[in-house]
Amino acid sequence: MAKSINFDRKNMPNQIIIFLLDTVVGLFSTALLLRFYVQLSRVPYYHPFSRFLVTVTDFVVRPARRVIPSWRGLDISTFVLAWLAQFIILAGINMLGGFGAGGSALAFVLLALVKLAGTTLNILLITIIVQSVLSWINPHSPLAPVLESFSGPILRPLQRIIPPIANIDLSPLFAFILLQALLMVVENLQRQIMHIF
């Protein structure tokens, strides 16, 4: 029992660093990914949400744009930086967790992409939940256009297929179920990659 306690004390700094790495770099990766989707969704540049994301991430996005050009109007550098942040988290946790240089670089490359897919699905889930709540309590919120631009590509096709019942739009419910199923697929893919490598 004493050995176990000593082992935990020795690893405490690493556990703290892993927590900070996962939290801080993870949040930064999410901010970069949101910036990419804000541009993709054509959210106005001067919207407070857009300005916040630009302010938080611009210090790294501007230099990256000199190296990674945009493609068909898309800011690819922002997406690549979001992926790189996830890669750093995975490699850092692998090193600090006591695995040394174990783990394939290709595995981290693929896992980082899968993590971004999972983050994207979680962003959409949160967007649909917040949008549904706001539609009842404050439909004219300044955040509503941003939420609608994010959720529109999923909700609009479902709205064409699923008619409202008693003037209640059920598309968010079906979108929620669909996104949850896709999250299960992403989690399974993550396990398969870890098993292969």
Instruction: Give the model confidence (pLDDT) of 115-129 as tens digits.
Output: 999 999 999 999 999
- CA–CA distance, 117 with 137 (Å, rounded to integer): 30
In 3D space, the residue among 40, 37, 117 whose CA is nearest the CA of residue 83 turns out to be 117
Q: How far apart are the first and last CA of the chain?
A: 33
Could you tell me the pTM of the whole model? 0.86
- CA–CA distance, 129 with 172 (Å, rounded to integer): 8
Give the domain ranges of the chain. Answer: 1-101, 103-197
The pLDDT value given to residue 30: 97
- CA–CA distance, 42 with 57 (Å, rounded to integer): 18
The pLDDT value given to residue 101: 46
CB 114 within 8 A of CB 189: yes
Angstrom CA distances, 9 to 13, 15, 152, 171, stand at: 8, 10, 49, 50
The pLDDT value given to residue 99: 58
The pLDDT value given to residue 42: 87
Query: Would the pLDDT of 192 be above 80?
Result: yes
Residue % of the chain over a pLDDT of 90: 60
The pLDDT value given to residue 14: 82
Average pLDDT of span 80-106: 82
Taking only the tens place, the pLDDT of each residue in 141-181 is 888 889 999 999 999 999 999 888 888 889 999 999 999 99
- CA–CA distance, 174 with 40 (Å, rounded to integer): 24
Query: How many residues does the structure list for the chain?
Result: 197
